[in-house]
């Protein structure tokens, strides 16, 4: 009767574990750099004496709809609007 159980290759398992751990460590390093870079930039700006950035003002709602008309690619659009 043949052996029904497979043997575990512990050498390969250890190699895969090391490789997986290295990849997780690399991803953790990239994540830490992505999180800490803006905070470091803010600290450097504060130490350099730069004023903090202000939030941009909201855009007013005085947009003229005729300036932003959507046309089909195949529609003939005159270069200048004709009065009428």
Sketch the domain layout of the chain as residue ranges. 8-50
Q: Please, which pLDDT band fits residue 84 given cuts at 50, 70 and 90? A: very low
pLDDT in tens, 23-72: 999 999 999 999 999 999 989 988 988 887 777 777 667 777 766 777 66
pLDDT at 26: 98
Task: Provide the phi-psi class of 7: left if phi over 0, else alpha when psi is between -120 and 50, else beta.
Answer: beta
Please say whether the beta carbons of 71 and 77 come within 8 A.
yes
Q: What pLDDT is recorded for position 2?
A: 66
């Amino acid at each position: 009767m043949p052996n029904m159980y497979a043997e575990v290759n512990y050498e390969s398992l250890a190699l895969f574990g090391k490789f997986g751990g290295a990849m997780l460590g690399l991803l953790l390093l990239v994540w830490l750099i992505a999180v800490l870079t803006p905070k470091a930039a803010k600290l450097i700006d504060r130490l350099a004496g730069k004023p903090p950035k202000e939030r941009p003002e909201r855009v007013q709602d005085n947009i003229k709809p005729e300036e932003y008309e959507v046309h089909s690619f195949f529609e003939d659009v005159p270069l200048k609007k004709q009065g009428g």
